[in-house]
Structure 1
Amino acid sequence: MATIEVGGKTYETDEEGYLTNLADWNTEVANYIAQTENVTMTEQHWEVVNFLREYFEEYQIAPAVRVLTKAIGKKLGAEKGNSEYLYGLFPYGPGKQACKIAGLPKPTGCV
């Protein structure tokens, strides 16, 4: 197990940097992970991260990119529910990178 230290507290992660305990997540941890991913969090980033956390709470699974894109389009509008917009926010993959920042497990189907 790997660990990260944020605000004087240690959090366990898997070998790819995903939190192993979903309850450990908070905005301070999210900002730290975003920084390590070279993502500067904006209101648009938080919108996607919060959407992912709500989705996970409801379905108990992190959505794959296609499902994420479709679901965001339904809830937040077509201008945000497309790959170009999401990859603009999370260049290393909106599913993979956004889920990591959101403290969720890596989506199934992500390499």
Structure 2
Amino acid sequence: MAKAEEPCPLSGHPNRKVRTIAGAQIVFDGEGFLRNPEDWPEEVARSLAAESGLKEWGETHWQLIRFMRAYYFQHGCVPMNRDLKAGVKMTLMDLEALFPGGIRGGARRVAGLPNPKTCAG
């Protein structure tokens, strides 16, 4: 797994940080969410998951991450909990337990999706 460099402030934007992960410079907000979901290669997911304390990474994690990203790019918003449950056929409790930080602070961050605080509705 590629080691991520320490974040450095993006000039003029104190709430944005630029980090190099897997050879790519990626802009994050102050809470560690990607500013642009299109800047997300899968190696970023592995690095962010490891940083969050996720010790084991398997196909179930990828299933959730890929569903969340596909839904986001198809619908322009992140899936609601009911959509997640139906899309990956897991209970909400099982989904929350997959990532440290649960769905919002864990899976959503690892998937490279926007900060929940920046989304309307």
Q: TM-score range by the shorter chain?
A: 0.7 to 0.9
Higher strand proportion (structure 1 or 2): 2
Give the TM-score taking structure 2 as reference length.
Answer: 0.74
Structure 1 segments unaligned to the other structure (5+ residues): none
Question: Any idea what the Cα deviations from partners look like across 1:46-87, whole Å, max 9, x if unmatched?
Answer: 100001001101211123xxx22x21332332xx1x222012
Letter in 1 for 2:18: T
CA 109–24 in structure 1, closer or farther in 2 if over 3 Å, else same: closer
Name the larger-Rg structure. Answer: 2
Q: 2:102 aligns with which of 66, 81, 93?
A: 93
Q: Distance in 2 between matches of 1:11 and 1:105?
A: 13
State percent identity of aligned pairs.
Answer: 30
The farther-off stretch of 22-31 and 2-11 is: 2-11
Q: Distance in 1 between matches of 2:86 and 2:92?
A: 14
Letter in 2 for 1:61: C
Give the TM-score taking structure 1 as reference length.
Answer: 0.80
Provide the secondary structure at the position in 2 that maps to 1:2: strand
Contact 1:61-1:107 at 8 Å conserved across structures: no
What's the CA shift for 1:103?
Answer: 0.7
Give the aligned partner of residue 56 of structure 1. 72
Counterparts of 1:13-92 in structure 2, within 5 Å, are 13-39=28-54, 40-63=56-79, 67-68=80-81, 70-77=82-89, 80=90, 82-92=91-101
Question: For this pair of structures, how many residues does the alignment match?
Answer: 103
CA 4–109 in structure 1, closer or farther in 2 if over 3 Å, else same: closer
Q: Distance in 2 between matches of 1:7 and 1:109?
A: 26
RMSD, aligned CA: 2.0
Q: Which runs of 4+ in 1 moved over 4 A?
A: none
